[in-house]
Amino acid sequence: MSNIENMQIPTLGAGTFRLKGQDAYQSVEMALKLGYRHIDTAQIYGNEAEVGQAITDSQLDRSELFLTTKIWMDKFAQADFLPSLKESLHKLQTEYVDLLLIHWPLKDESVSMTEYLTELKKAQDLGLARHIGVSNFTTAQMTQAIEILGDGKIFTNQVEVHPYLQNRAVVEFCQQHNILVTAYMPFAYGDVLKDDVICAIAKNPQATPAQVVLAWIIQQGFVTIPSSTKEKNLASNLEYSKVTLSEDDMKQIATLDRNHRLANPDFAPEWD
């Protein structure tokens, strides 16, 4: 996975989806104290200010951190895109993000993909984002995005991936085009942590089911961004690296795919 090696993105990040106010602040504060150096947020989460404050209060050098945010769909037009990013940077108390993503592709093309990806690239050219990428893009949309931006420009596609939704068509496309897969909702809101197969594998190396799932994701060369408000869980997740799954373990987890998609709003694309 040359993207990971070249770009120095920590494979395990702390997500902030669904975290508001003090919960968001404390989660990021705890994560940074525990040693996380990759933080993921988005405009629509409504917590960029709290994330930014936690980062500032940590007094860590900005160069030590990998920070991601995402542009929401109502800011895709040329007139709104960069101003909205600058507002995000102000909230995050930083001059740049390490990764800027298009949060969801537009279904209705009310703003053309060419227009919003051109603005995304402009953000990178201006130094407001070190890397650029997409989220929730299908293989057809990634093909279109590569036609617009050119090969090698899209750093990642952040998509739902967990043992119950393995998203193989998207994963294979990303791997063929050197686009990093960032897996969100790796635990499927906890559903997969109760799975008999996962729990049985966890007993062998005395790991937690969460550590098994994280090891499964990261052994495939993906990055992942689980979120938690519990220090114990944040700390335990970091221990995933002590777990090495066998080829047989990986094959067993591969059989769990059941197209169990959780992030499927009415504005979602036609999934692969």
Q: Are strands 154-160 and 66-71 parallel, antiparallel or unpaired?
A: unpaired
Stretch (H or E) spanning 135: strand 129-135
User: Rounded CA gap, 151 and 143, in Å?
Assistant: 10
Backbone angles phi and psi of 89, in degrees to 5? -60, -40
The helix, strand and coil proportions of the chain, stated in percent and rounded to the nearest 5, come to 50, 15, 35
Q: Vertex 40, ends 242 and 6: CA angle to 5°?
A: 65
User: Rounded CA gap, 168 and 156, in Å?
Assistant: 15
Alpha carbon 230 to chain centroid, angstroms: 20
The two structure tokens encoding residue 94: 């930083």
Per the rule left: phi > 0, alpha: psi between -120 and 50, beta: everything else, 198 is: alpha
- Respond yes or no: is residue 45 known to be catalytic: yes
Q: Which of these is catalytic: 36, 45, 164, 240?
A: 45
User: Rounded CA gap, 238 and 13, in Å?
Assistant: 9
CA dihedral for 42, 62, 25, 215, sign (positive or negative): positive
Query: Among all residues, which ones are annotated catalytic?
Result: 45
